[in-house]
Amino acid sequence: MKIRAFSIPLALVVASPLLAQQTPQQLADAELPSLLAIYKDLHAHPELSGHEEKSAAFIAKELKAVGCEVTEKVGKYDKPNLTSYGVVGVMKNGAGPTILVRTDLDGLPVTEESGVPYASKDKTTNDEGKEVGVMHACGHDIHMSTFIGTARLLAKLKDQWKGTIVFVGQPAEEIGIGARAMLKDGLYTRWPKPDFAVGLHDSAQIEAGKIGVTEGFTYANVDSVDVTVPGVGGHGAYPHKTKDPVVLAADMITAWQTIASRENNPVDPVVVTVGSIHAGTKHNIISDEVKMQLTVRTYKADVRERVLAAIERIAKGCATAAGMPPDRMPTVKVRQDEFTPATYNNPELTKRIFGVLQKAIGNNNVEKSDATMGGEDFSEYSLLPDYSVPACMFNVGGVDPKKFAESQKAGAAPLPSLHSSKFAPVPEPTIRTGLIGMTSVVLDLMKK
């Protein structure tokens, strides 16, 4: 009798906390059908950077539904007439750390060719007045669906964490101005300043079901540079009566490649790409001017400064060598307002997150990924120049495992990259993996 009397309460003691402690995995499975429906709807109706009105309103509605204090239209752009559709939702749960969780909201001016049944057929007018297709070609719809799921799960798991979560729905990531606009509008003063900032991005190079993590620099400084090369135009048959800016621009383009190959310490990555070059109207006219647009990628602040200075020095040096008079020198304009700083994954935080993700989705499903020269304005949340707010962005695989396996065979066509009209992440298990991963990370950083 005695043994029996003992065994029943003991069993209850053991069983009750197990029943109470729901896991992100269990809750993710229950939320998934709703999140997949949300994803398909968001995917079918993307909005361009700076125009995320409906996406932002939807995020705001979802955050309110899980008990967040929500503020809309957060953000101040430098461009006057542009509304910032930033959303801030604060979920409070007693005293404890503050964590910022971020999603971006915007799509891209790409006409979708993915072939999925929920593909976007939407068209819109861009800021130049041209009609363009619009597509979630960077997967920000994956981010939004995962973000909504994370908010739902953390609202249900309040017995397992304490502190304040600041959910940030950020506009205009693709043009690199959204995060800065939100910070400028008081993101860290009107709302609690975070102890950590976390975010995820889908990956077009990692299998769905897996997560890639990079420690240290993970995305690059991105600078947009406009170069105008004046010449002295004239008849194509009489080059000696002109100063041909096309030949001069060609010299510059080749010489700029020596910045990475000859001037720079090879262990510091540098990319100088001339993405656009325009001159002339006709075969037999030597043009008066060449215009070029460059993207310049670096990691370190001092490397960035040196590379930008070298672009100008080489441009002017080439012009001098071509005999251009001082009043016809090229102009090199760095678009400071479009600068995206390098994203730095705080090593200590990243190591911790790596371990949490391994526990949450299995050791074999978490891999160390290489850094890339892509750009992400998530970097702004770290606060430059010293990255004083520890931040980490990890990469959630979106590629159909079968297609991934095929792409690994010799001679196979490369997988469609982010921003490709054919990019088609598989919603399940991508969203499920991101959701479990992000929820587990926040729970660990805020655990009771």
Set 106, 173, 174, 207: catalytic member? 174
Between residues 204 and 356, which has the closer beta carbon with respect to Zn ion?
Answer: 204
Q: How far is the CB of 419 from Zn ion (least distance, A)?
A: 6
Residue facing Zn ion at closest CB distance: 138
- Answer yes or no: are the C-beta atoms of 443 and 160 closer than 8 Å: yes
Q: How far is the CB of 108 from Zn ion (least distance, A)?
A: 7
Between residues 259 and 373, which has the closer beta carbon with respect to Zn ion?
Answer: 373
Between residues 138 and 294, which has the closer beta carbon with respect to Zn ion?
Answer: 138
Q: How far is the CB of 252 from Zn ion (least distance, A)?
A: 28
Number of neighbours of residue 116 by Cβ within 10 angstroms:
14
Calpha distance 441→448 (Å, rounded): 14
Q: How far is the CB of 291 from Zn ion (least distance, A)?
A: 25
Between residues 358 and 417, which has the closer beta carbon with respect to Zn ion?
Answer: 417
Set 62, 104, 251, 376: catalytic member? 104
Catalytic-residue membership of 104: yes
- Answer yes or no: are the C-beta atoms of 106 and 73 closer than 8 Å: no
Q: How far is the CB of 34 from Zn ion (least distance, A)?
A: 24
Q: How far is the CB of 174 from Zn ion (least distance, A)?
A: 5
Between residues 138 and 307, which has the closer beta carbon with respect to Zn ion?
Answer: 138
| 3-state SS, one letter per residue, for the chain | CHHHHHHHHHHHHHHHHHHHCCCHHHHHHHHHHHHHHHHHHHHHCCCECCCCHHHHHHHHHHHHHCCCEEEEEECCCCCCCCCCCEEEEEEEECCCCEEEEEEECCEECCCCCCCCCCCCCCEEECCCCCEEECECCCCHHHHHHHHHHHHHHHHHCHHHECEEEEEEEECCCCCCCHHHHHHHCCCCCCCCCCCEEEEEEEEEEEECCCEEECCEEEECEEEEEEEEEECECEECCCHHHCECHHHHHHHHHHHHHHHHHHHCCCCCCEEEEEEEEEECCCCCEECCEEEEEEEEEECCHHHHHHHHHHHHHHHHHHHHHCCCCHHHCCEEEECHHHCECCEEECHHHHHHHHHHHHHHHCHHHEEECCCCCCCCHHHHHHCCCCCCCCEEEEEEEEECHHHHHHHCCCCCCCCCCCCCCCCCCCHHHHHHHHHHHHHHHHHHHCEC
How many residues in total does the chain contain?
Answer: 448
Q: How far is the CB of 176 from Zn ion (least distance, A)?
A: 10
Between residues 143 and 152, which has the closer beta carbon with respect to Zn ion?
Answer: 143
Give the footprint of Zn ion on this chain (CB under 5 A).
Answer: 138
Between residues 328 and 419, which has the closer beta carbon with respect to Zn ion?
Answer: 419
Active site residues: 104, 174
